[in-house]
Structure 1
Amino acid sequence: MFTSLLRYPLGSLLAVSIGVLAPLSQASPLGTHEYPQADTWPFGPLVTSGRDIKDTRNQTVVYAGANWPGHGEVMIPDGLTYQSVETVVTKIKSAGVNAIRLTYAIQMIDEIYDNGGDDITVRAAFIQALGEANGTARFDEFLQKNPIFDESTTRLQVFDAVAEECAKQEIYINLDNHMSQGAWCCNTRDGNSWFGDTYFDVDNWTRGLAYMADHGRSWRALTSMSLRNELRRPDNNPQLNEESYHWQDWYEYMRQGADAVNGANPDVLVVLSGLDFDTWVNPVVEGTALEPGSGLFDRADFAGYGADKLVLELHNYANNAANCDGLKRDLYAKGYRALHPEDPQTVNVFPVLLTEFGFAQATAWNSVYATCLAEMLAEERAGWFIWVIAGSYYIRSGIQDYEETWGLLNHDWSDWRSPDYIEQGFMPLIRDTVSP
């Protein structure tokens, strides 16, 4: 989610070349627990077919879900000091949600490598992020609400528990690399903006993608992975901005990321995000030059999976929109044209996911922006993830126990923040997009 009014603490991310670290096989719990898919939910592997995502029954899959952040300083999914994993998943399932966009930070994987292949404990993660006193107190609350965990539980084991509960309740997971640092996202000066930025080491990024893709082979609910959240100008680094922030380099690096994911886990869909906080992907859809070069997007460059594993994503926070037709036209031009092979400007047809949009739950759910997006998503029958499940964060922008007024859930994650929106807006949106 974009905001320009944020502070970012200096993370411990080390930009160390992958070549001088232990091989992935020494640090990653390789996928020895691959799950049978074809004849049971999620009826995968999922594939793309033109504008649609299909399962093994040839039924169209439309994600209708919400973002569950796990990329903050603690680097576990938020909310678990207030409620159990099972309680949170059960609550969102009760509204009809069929998918979550689960976010993580590359720093988590960097620290696993730095620790000889072992993840750090959740206790250590809370203390590292919140300080000794508050971190210990929050960890005790975490254990009280989640008796399935203990003092030895690691961060990845919490992600595993979320994935297991999602599988039990038949909720798809789109696993999203949100940041390199474990921190709130985003602005253009946070050092996480673009490939080669202060904390955005490309080798560590591809290594982290491969690690999580491989680790996720044991997650029955994992059906797709987003390569990077909200690519944006690195305004803190004028030289990088001038020399590299363009579609030509985007293509080079996104191919590396996609290859890393597919090489480690060929079952998952690979989700490509665009430029300027993921607000446009026009050159990919329209087959125009990836400037400043003259090269074009070519599925053949994604060897062995380009034809049926690639998905596009967009974000939209045009919260002040006053005209629905104008908002729809803008979204169509910036990427939703990909859903329309009948349009002569459409060169490359893809499924398109709206992986972030949102608003203040109590006051803005019936705004032009909110109602227009709901109308468009239903018309397109396109997948989406609202920002955000979280009623509060362990820490955000230096503030502990931060209140999230955009959250579907209230501060302690015990109930809906706006029951009116859930009943009159959210649940109808789910029905309108998921139902044929």
Structure 2
Amino acid sequence: MKPVLALLSLASLSAAAPNSSPFAQDELSRRADWPNGPFVTSGRWILDASGKNVTYAGANWPGHADVMIPEGLQYQSIESIVQKIKSLGMNAVRLTFAIQMVDEIYANGGNDITIQKAFVQALGQANGTRVLNQVLAKNPQFSATTTRLQVFDAVAAELAKQQIYLHLDNHVSKAMWCCSSTDGNSWWGDTYFSVANWTRGLAYMANHGKSWPALTSMGLRNEPREPTNNAALDRSSYNWQSWYEYMRQGAAAVHAANPAPLIFLSGLSFDTFLTPVVQGTALTPGSAVFSRADFPGYADKLVLELHNYENSIGSCASLQSNLLRDGFQALQGGSGINVFPVMMTEFGFQMDASTWRGVYASCLASFLPAQKAGWLIWVLAGSYYIRSGIQDYEEGWGLLNHDWSAWRSPSYVDGALKTMVRNTLS
């Protein structure tokens, strides 16, 4: 059964309002207007339809791996997982998907496959059936004939119900754990990374996402990186000039299919720097520079995204300097600087009692809110259906514990994360 989000109409809200207090009427109006999009950008800010600043503070929820549905549903219901996100004060989720899911829909005459088939393909007959039954027990709105996209629909509906923005991210082409420079997913034209299938997949998901009220933005590709096992592709294409060509194609595909979402551009070397874009220098080996005119009609939809995993850095000052150089300078402007909203869509570390007190985690906890920069921590998942061939894989970096029932590091959540959320959104 395909889940359906029951949204109150403005008419029903108005009918309920006469017997309500002014506060209740304001709350009803706010809920009806949420998310008050589509969002646009203005300088370094993201703005809603009323012109108010919007900043993300949230977490990554993977859905791109072998099964190709959002993780954790064998342990908890979608509602309970979203409630946990909401309890932190977070307002955004980066939900990942694989182009392979869309490729299989096209190969299947336009029909998605069932989650029964998806689990069996990924985990084998016995384990796939067992985990499917666990998913159905925790999420009884589904059945064996529910499709993968219908699970994404249900997650999107629950995010909307609890008023959490959905940022949909194309993480990989071939569904698998990410990322390696030798995994065939690294660069346009790599073993599994068909440019045509990528743009087709982006357009498909952008169009499908029109039915998701929570969808406010899309990421074109996670962590573009050097294809070190493909020497010919590396020599001919791994550069800023090719990056610009492909990012323009992806952005155009998304906007043509759905003009509402913001479009996130990720950088080179595992999305760790966007310096030439920000500084307006040549996109080498060519001489062209980044120009908003190359995104006609939707230049005000572009956001820069960066990742950072400098976990062993010894100085907060050094980390801050690196972040500014790598792209966060776009928030501050200055001579020759292209000003953009910049968001850190991945950072993370071991969830234990002490790592969060170190230089890396504590520096980001102060730097990002001070910059009023949006962020999404890696990762919500306490475990994976399967990762790198290991089923029921334990995720030590997960905010949630193995069965997604509680926080893995309560000291971090209470001692730093909730404060980071509040300081970012205040």
> Taking structure 1 as the reference length, what is the TM-score of the superposition?
0.90
Distance 1:185 1:52 in 2: 30
**Residue 201 of structure 1 pairs with residue 233 of structure 2:** no
Q: Which amino acid aligns with 2:347?
A: F
**Residue 331 of structure 1 pairs with residue 323 of structure 2:** yes
1:55 is aligned to 48
1:359 is aligned to 349
Distance 1:407 1:92 in 2: 13
1:401 is aligned to 392
Alignment match of 1:322 (pick from 285, 293, 314): 314
Distance 1:385 1:427 in 2: 13
2:419 is aligned to 428
Alignment match of 1:152 (pick from 145, 149, 153): 145
Shift of 1:236: 1.1
Any unmatched runs of 5+ in structure 1?
1-32
Query: What does residue range 46-195 of structure 1 map to in structure 2 within 5 Å?
Result: 46-195=39-188
1:311 is aligned to 303
Shift of 1:425: 0.8
Alignment match of 2:376 (pick from 370, 373, 385): 385
**Residue 414 of structure 1 pairs with residue 414 of structure 2:** no
- Superposition RMSD on alpha carbons, in Å? 1.4
Q: Which runs of at least 4 in structure 1 moved beyond 6 Å after TM superposition?
A: 35-39
Distance 1:367 1:113 in 2: 47
Shift of 1:58: 1.2
Distance 2:194 2:394 in 1: 31
- What SS does the corresponding residue of 2:268 show, helix, strand or coil? coil
Distance 1:107 1:47 in 2: 30
2:275 is aligned to 282
Distance 1:402 1:264 in 2: 36
2:20 is aligned to none
Shift of 1:92: 1.1
Shift of 1:59: 1.1
Alignment match of 2:240 (pick from 232, 243, 247): 247
Distance 1:430 1:91 in 2: 14
Distance 2:376 2:390 in 1: 25
**Residue 271 of structure 1 pairs with residue 264 of structure 2:** yes
Distance 2:358 2:214 in 1: 33
Distance 2:296 2:372 in 1: 29
1:383-436 Cα offsets, whole Å, 9 max, x none, are 00000000000000100000001000000000111111111111000001110x
**Residue 220 of structure 1 pairs with residue 213 of structure 2:** yes
Shift of 1:101: 0.3
Q: Which amino acid aligns with 1:63?
A: Y
1:214-247 Cα offsets, whole Å, 9 max, x none, are 0000000000000000000001100000110000
- What SS does the corresponding residue of 2:357 show, helix, strand or coil? coil
Alignment match of 1:294 (pick from 282, 287, 294): 287
Name the % identity. Answer: 63
Any unmatched runs of 5+ in structure 2?
1-6, 11-28
Q: Which amino acid aligns with 1:331?
A: L
- What SS does the corresponding residue of 1:365 show, helix, strand or coil? helix
2:25 is aligned to none
Distance 2:202 2:386 in 1: 24
Shift of 1:326: 0.4
- What SS does the corresponding residue of 1:293 show, helix, strand or coil? coil
Distance 1:151 1:80 in 2: 14
- What SS does the corresponding residue of 2:46 show, helix, strand or coil? strand
1:344-394 Cα offsets, whole Å, 9 max, x none, are 241x11000100000001041111000001111011010000000000000
- What SS does the corresponding residue of 2:356 show, helix, strand or coil? coil
- What SS does the corresponding residue of 1:151 show, helix, strand or coil? coil
Shift of 1:97: 1.1
Distance 2:388 2:275 in 1: 32
1:129-156 Cα offsets, whole Å, 9 max, x none, are 0000000000000000000101210000
- What SS does the corresponding residue of 1:102 show, helix, strand or coil? strand
1:47-66 Cα offsets, whole Å, 9 max, x none, are 00110101012111110000
Distance 2:323 2:173 in 1: 28
Structure in which a larger fraction of residues adopt helix: 2
**Residue 371 of structure 1 pairs with residue 353 of structure 2:** no
Distance 1:125 1:361 in 2: 30
- What SS does the corresponding residue of 2:270 show, helix, strand or coil? coil
> Taking structure 2 as the reference length, what is the TM-score of the superposition?
0.92
1:26-61 Cα offsets, whole Å, 9 max, x none, are xxxxxxx9x999971000000001101010121111
Distance 2:80 2:110 in 1: 31
> How many pairs were matched up?
399
